[in-house]
Amino acid sequence: MQFLEQVSKEIGKCLHEFKVIVVKSTVPVGTSDKVKQWIKESCSQADDFAVVSNPEFLREGSALYDALQPDRIVIGSDCRQAITILNKLYEQACCPILITSSSSAELIKYASNSFLALKISFVNELAKLCDHLEIDIQGVAEGMGLDHRIGEHFLQAGIGYGGSCFPKDVDALLHTSKKHGVDLTILEKVVEVNKTQPLYMIEKIRNMLGSLKEKKVGILGLAFKPHTDDLRESPSLKILQVLDEEKAIVQVHDPVATLPSSTFSSHITQCETPYLAATDADAILICTDWPEYRQLDWKKINKLLKHPYLFDGRNMLDAHMLSQLGFLYEGVGKKSGVHSSTLL
pLDDT digits (tens, 9 = 90+) for 85-120: 999 999 999 999 999 999 999 999 999 999 999 999
Q: Residue 235: what pLDDT?
A: 97
pLDDT band of 164, cuts 50, 70, 90: confident
Rounded to 5°, the CA angle 88-89-91 comes to 60
Kindly list the distances between the CA atom of residue 146 and the CA atoms of 99, 128, 341, 342, in Å, as whole numbers in the listed order.
30, 21, 13, 13
Which residue ranges form the domains of the chain, and what is each CATH number? 2-100 (3.40.50.720), 116-330 (3.40.50.720)
pLDDT band of 264, cuts 50, 70, 90: confident
pLDDT band of 195, cuts 50, 70, 90: very high
233 backbone φψ class: left, alpha, beta (φ>0; ψ -120 to 50): left
- Chain centroid offset of residue 212 CA: 28
Read off the DSSP letter of residue 314.
T
Q: Phi, psi (5° rounding) for residue 268?
A: -125, 125
pLDDT tops 70 at residue 180: yes
Q: Which amino acid is at 222?
A: L
| 3-class secondary-structure state, position 23 | strand
Cα four-point dihedral sign 227, 231, 235, 237: positive
Residues carrying an active site annotation: 165
Give the global pTM: 0.91
The predicted model gives 1-8 an average pLDDT of 92
Q: Which amino acid is at 234?
A: S
Question: Average model confidence (pLDDT) for the chain?
Answer: 94
pLDDT tops 90 at residue 242: yes
pLDDT tops 90 at residue 81: yes
* pLDDT tens-place string over residues 121-136: 999 999 999 999 999 9
